[in-house]
Amino acid sequence: MKYCFYLLFFGVMLSQVSCSNNQQKSSSATQTSAKKQLDTADAHLATDLSVFFTSQVQAAKLIETKSTNKKVTDLASQNEQLYTQLSTRLNTLSDEYTIVLPAKPADQAGKNLVALRVAKLSLLDHAYLLQMLKDHNVIIREINAAKNTQCVPLKAFVLSNQADIIKQAYALSALKDETP
């Protein structure tokens, strides 16, 4: 009887050790394969969104320092806050997938930012509003075309933030009509 108890105890301990080793192996395997692959179109959309968010933040920071129009400065501040938040959320999403988001805007976005920097101060507000409205229209068209996104979290991100992006486009359009 005494030996049966020892045998039972030894068998339980052995099974616990083997289960914990299997859990460690499976958790390390899940950690290495935790990043999921994205469809090419989904990765392209995520990259374009990242470039858009980054260029919006950089342009907003420029306008906040150079603009003399309070309404334009306030809208630029709203843009900076919104797109910084969206960029952070997109970066968090990209950590779960094998998405490498660009650290800086694309060439065209960089050229647009340079054009804003060299614009005359009297034309700066209107040039900013026109460029940002153009960028918003492009990204809204791309979001609308991306209804067949395969990645569910990316699709949820896009759909949940589409209204905010459209709202900013309307605000830009309304303010553009007020500035000379």
- Nearest-angstrom CA–CA distance, 36 and 25: 19
| N-term to C-term CA, the chain | 97
pLDDT-derived band at 13 (thresholds 50, 70, 90) equals very low
pLDDT, tens digit, for every residue of 94-126?
888 777 777 666 565 556 555 655 556 667 788
Q: Using one digit for the tens of pLDDT, what is the confidence trace for 22-78?
A: 344 444 444 444 567 777 888 888 888 988 898 889 888 988 888 888 998 999 999
36: which strand partners? 97
Q: Which fold has domain 38-178?
A: Ferritin (1.20.1260)
Q: Are 139 and 131 in contact (CB under 8 A)?
A: no
Amino acid found at 103: A
**Residue 21 above 90 pLDDT?**
no
